[in-house]
Amino acid sequence: MSQITNLRLLFFSPLKPSLSSPLSLLSKPIPYHSLFTTLSYSKRQRTYPRHQRSRNFNRKNNSNSTFKENTSSHDKGLSMEETESTFGYNKRRAEGKDKSDIPKKNLQLKVRRLNPTNTISYVQILGTGMDTQDTSPSVLLFFDKQRFIFNAGEGLQRFCTEYKIKLSKIDHIFLSRVCSETAGGLPGLLLTLAGMGEEGMSVNVWGPSDLKYLVDAMRSFIPHAAMVHTRGFGPAPSFDAAAVSDASKFTDPIVLVDDEVVTISAIILWPRSLDGSAVKPGEMSVIYVCELAEVKGKFDPKKAVALGLRAGPKYSQLQSGKSVKSDYQDIMVNPSDVMGPSVPGPIVFLVDCPTESHVEELLSVASLSSYYADSGKPPESAKTVNCIIHLSPTVVTSTLSYQKWMKKFGSAQHIMAGHEMKNVEIPILKSSARISARLNYLCPQFFPAPGFWPLQHLNYPAADCNASGEGSNPKLCESISAENLLKFTLRPHAHFGLDRSLIPSVITSSEVSDDLLSEIPEIVDAAQHVSQFWHGSMEAKEDMTYLQDNEVMVEEPWLDLNTLPSCLENITRDDMEIVLLGTGSSQPSKYRNVSSIYVNLFSKGSLFLDCGEGTLGQLKRRYGVLGADNAVRNLNCIWISHIHADHHSGLARILALRRDLLKGVPHEPLFVVGPSQLKRFLDAYQRLEDLDMQFLDCRNTTETSWDAFEGNLDTNENHSSPDSPINVNKKNSQNTDSMLFAGGSPMQSYWKRPGGHVDNSAAFPLIKRLKKVLSVAGLEALVSFPVVHCPQAFGVVLKAAERLNSTGKVIPGWKIVYSGDTRPCQELQKASIGATVLIHEATFEDGLMEQAIAKNHSTTKEAIEVGDKVGAYRIILTHFSQRYPKVPVFDEKHMHKTCIAFDMMSINIADLPVLPKILPYIKLLFRNEMIEDDESDDIVGDILSSLSAP
């Protein structure tokens, strides 16, 4: 099949691309649209019947609404600075002033009428973390009118979406520990709930007293209204060893919820310390005790009549537990006189005992003795535990002491929910895994992750393959391994016990392939055609010609298959790979996770560009558990574009894992480069758990800041060290905040607001160290540049160092540009001149220009136009609205050097020439898919964009 439908001339310019080059290539500006306030609009229903899907996949979607050019600044009250803007954008949103445009929501808890009789109740494993082992599993305690979730690790929202578990019904969230493993999904969950419906929703969030540190940290980017119902309990964490003795008074259960249906209590576990040091925040753990209300005995009307009662209201009063006076006798009638014996309610334990130091405390908790089978209490007052869900890791639960403790509960059903190998063959996110498997069948070169991992290829450590108690210690207590969606029914009593009916079935990649072949038989030939791209490119490699250093691509270079950018000459497959771990916007969905890009530099290390929730899980799905650990261990830097939660809420989990992996190994703290608001979050969070990182403001890595640093380097190199301040050369160290945008730019003003200035001199020691880190990674530069989205929103340029070929010829380094979230803007265009790869957000389709401007995002066509104008060799579109569940809408005729990103897509730099050619085949793969409308994307986007005030 011919890939070239029309030919265009390839022009060269003598201009040598650089970050400081003028924007001489931008001969035709994108039309200016006059929209500077948040627009209100009615959402269109966009679900199409089956016979229309194919053409809608390819439709142009010209906007129905016309944006008139702003010809009079006085009509809109705009300054001359604003009318000179090349691109339309929402100025209020960009400056963080649009909070008043979003209705204030009174996120009060809804009062539910509870009915303790005839209720359905069960506990259920929500499989977060069970296939990638990066978070603690969550557990649902379900009642007709109430829902409780225990632990909210990363990926909880995606899991609940996948299996239709309604988060809007959740009343309480309990954390067994306060750390990234158990609470990484909490920020996104709270934002989602706050954006639901017209009024928003809220929940009670419970945890040990160090919950306050997490709350303080999240206030950097979550509205206070979504956090008003957080409740810590137990003694305040302290670094003072003398305070440890005060913990003894908290050994009794702390009642948190006590209503007609259930009583939930917490028992705090402290790790036993041999040196007597204080317990630090993040080390407290909790046992949750859930005791269902007893079922009252049956009312006996004959006994009531015998005691002189008339049928009527007094019968109801007795059944509700109240004593009444007899109608015919001078006596008081008590409920026990007319009611049969009550049936005790079931009891469920959730135990999180993370270390063997906690086990010692567990064995000594006196308040647990009343629940032991051999407690010595009379049968009528004894408490029988029916089910215990163990969140403790296998290394703890397999110890002899823990096994003996389990036996104390007699016939209780033990469910081991710590990380085991039981479910790793069953992906939690089956919808996403199915898409990955189909893409892998079509093009394994760009989609190497098969979606469904055979157990032997998961590269887990062999020691982890032992089930609980099957290691060196004998299994003293009978138990079962938790499985995704496993239930233990509590009521009605007729169904009491384990329920496996909802456990997902095992699906293999071969089954997915069979389904694909049945649905699209042509895919067999398509996969063969795709494989020929690599075979053909190897044959033609010797005939390639390369652009010279002083030549800039203006038209489509891939139309001439023998012409490549000079930076690709003699490129190898171990030079660089771009892995799109998350390609959706606002919140995770079944098919697309939120923003995260992994830049693999192989032996030289790696970087993250943004790090949304679930990044670690995605990394493990791409590389396996050990491969992901190695990737995190070898990280050089993490760069964050802006403060919206969908771009950084996976950061703490990555940093915490790196800390654990490098414990006891000499290493430097990891560089995190991001907006200043992110530093406030990280500083507050590090009071909870050490993240082993150093922070550098994006404004310290702009081109102007790098120039200031280089200008001072020679002056100070004989008078400073990495650990000492560097004197500022006033001539070269300018007020960089006034230079971040070109003169006359409408965005320049908000950088001059109070707090907008950044002192480069104080950051020079960190900048100097960052330069060394980049050099080790083979990078010449990491340069941040401001973009138009929200205050302190940035894009980034990564430039590889020059190299020598076998003949000693100097080969220029490749250049990657990532837009972050933005409207098309001059700073992005200037930074992108001559880019080897431009990764550009394309949140909306072309027909939704109004929404794109209102929310300061880009359309697909706009993103492609930016890449075309600056001569980018390849354009990767990402950050799609979740209204496009599987594939976004695009106009294929504009995609000549562009690709659509999917989660797990891995683009090796050596494969860039082939990249645009696979698009028609992807179109074939998704020809039967519908385009759905997800309003939550816009609602949550409104909330996210309101949280960016400095």
The predicted-structure confidence for 581-601, as pLDDT tens digits, reads as follows 999 998 888 899 999 999 999
Residue type for position 943:
I
- Which pLDDT score is estimated for 499? 97
Only one residue has tokens 């009118």, namely 145
What's the CA gap between 390 and 412, in Å, rounded?
12
Only one residue has tokens 């060196």, namely 472
Least confident of 7-11, 312-316, 471-475: 7-11
3-state secondary structure at position 299? strand
Summary mean pLDDT of the chain: 78
Q: Which of 192-206, 296-310, 742-756 has the highest mean pLDDT?
A: 296-310
What's the CA gap between 149 and 611, in Å, rounded?
25
- Which pLDDT score is estimated for 106? 59
Binning pLDDT at 50, 70 and 90, where does residue 155 land?
very high
Q: What percent of the chain has pLDDT over 70?
A: 72
Q: Which residue has the higher pLDDT, 536 or 744?
A: 536
- Which pLDDT score is estimated for 757? 55
Q: Among 524, 502, 512, which Cα is nearest to 451's? A: 512
- Answer yes or no: is pLDDT of 466 > 80: no
Mean pLDDT of 376-389: 80
Q: What is the pLDDT of residues 191-220, one digit of tens each?
A: 888 877 767 778 899 999 999 999 889 988
172, 259 contact by CB (below 8 A): no
Q: Which residue has the higher pLDDT, 13 or 774?
A: 774
What's the CA gap between 188 and 335, in Å, rounded?
48
Q: Among 271, 246, 253, which Cα is nearest to 366's? A: 253
- Answer yes or no: is pLDDT of 726 > 80: no
Sign of CA dihedral 731, 733, 736, 740: positive
Binning pLDDT at 50, 70 and 90, where does residue 767 land?
very high
Q: Among 904, 607, 656, 651, which Cα is nearest to 784's? A: 607
- Answer yes or no: is pLDDT of 291 > 90: yes
Binning pLDDT at 50, 70 and 90, where does residue 850 land?
very high
Angle at which helices 356-364 and 400-407 cross, to 10°: 30
Binning pLDDT at 50, 70 and 90, where does residue 716 land?
low
- Which pLDDT score is estimated for 277? 62
Q: Where are the alpha helices (DSSP H) in 479-571?
A: 509-519, 523-539
Binning pLDDT at 50, 70 and 90, where does residue 59 land?
very low
Instruction: Give how far the C-alpha of residue 363 lies from the chain's centroid of Cα atoms, to the nearest Å.
Output: 37
Binning pLDDT at 50, 70 and 90, where does residue 507 land?
confident
Going along the chain from its start, the domains and CATH numbers come out as 121-236+250-295+343-438 (3.60.15.10), 301-337 (no CATH), 566-714+760-911+921-933 (3.60.15.10)
- Answer yes or no: is pLDDT of 548 > 70: no
- Which pLDDT score is estimated for 938? 42
3-state secondary structure at position 444? coil
Q: List Cα–Cα distances, 217 to 213, 224, 231, 613, in angstroms.
A: 6, 12, 15, 16
- Answer yes or no: is pLDDT of 251 > 90: no
- Answer yes or no: is pLDDT of 560 > 70: no
3-state secondary structure at position 310? coil
Q: What is the pLDDT of residues 622-678, one digit of tens each?
A: 998 889 999 999 999 999 999 999 999 999 999 999 999 999 999 999 999 999 999
Least confident of 53-57, 262-266, 566-570, 899-903: 53-57
Binning pLDDT at 50, 70 and 90, where does residue 943 land?
very low
Q: Which residue has the higher pLDDT, 941 or 693?
A: 693
Q: What percent of the chain has pLDDT over 90?
A: 50
What's the CA gap between 870 and 878, in Å, rounded?
18
Which two structure tokens, joined as six digits, stand for 83? 């009318």
What's the CA gap between 767 and 697, in Å, rounded?
10
Strands of 230-233's sheet in order across = 230-233, 204-208, 172-174, 147-150, 138-143, 121-126, 487-491, 497-499
Q: Which residue has the higher pLDDT, 271 or 744?
A: 271
Binning pLDDT at 50, 70 and 90, where does residue 385 land?
very high
Q: Which residue has the higher pLDDT, 374 or 829?
A: 829
Q: Among 355, 380, 351, 377, which Cα is nearest to 477's? A: 351
Instruction: Give how far the C-alpha of residue 352 lies from the chain's centroid of Cα atoms, to the nearest Å.
Output: 24
- Which pLDDT score is estimated for 252? 85
Q: What is the pLDDT of residues 407-457, one digit of tens each?
A: 999 999 999 998 776 666 678 888 899 999 999 999 999 999 888 776 555
- Strand 837-841 vs strand 874-878: parallel, antiparallel, or unpaired? parallel
Residue 834 falls in which region: left (phi positive, over 0), alpha (psi -120 to 50) or beta = left
- Which pLDDT score is estimated for 110? 66
- Which pLDDT score is estimated for 751? 40
3-state secondary structure at position 811? strand
Q: What is the pLDDT of residues 514-533, one digit of tens each?
A: 999 999 999 999 999 999 99
- Answer yes or no: is pLDDT of 911 > 70: yes
Strands of 635-639's sheet in order across = 693-697, 670-674, 635-639, 606-611, 596-600, 577-582, 905-908
- Which pLDDT score is estimated for 246? 55
- Which pLDDT score is estimated for 671? 97
Mean pLDDT of 606-618: 96
Q: What is the pLDDT of residues 114-124, one digit of tens each?
A: 766 668 999 99
Mean pLDDT of 272-276: 61
DSSP state of 197: T
- Which pLDDT score is estimated for 225? 63
- Which pLDDT score is estimated for 64? 34
Mean pLDDT of 780-802: 96
3-state secondary structure at position 230? strand
- Answer yes or no: is pLDDT of 358 > 90: yes
Q: Which residue has the higher pLDDT, 486 or 719?
A: 486
- Answer yes or no: is pLDDT of 74 > 50: no
Query: Residue 391: is it exposed, middle or buried by C-beta count within 10 angstroms (0-12/13-18/19+)?
Result: buried
Query: Residue 914: is it exposed, middle or buried by C-beta count within 10 angstroms (0-12/13-18/19+)?
Result: buried
Q: Among 376, 451, 387, which Cα is nearest to 416's? A: 387
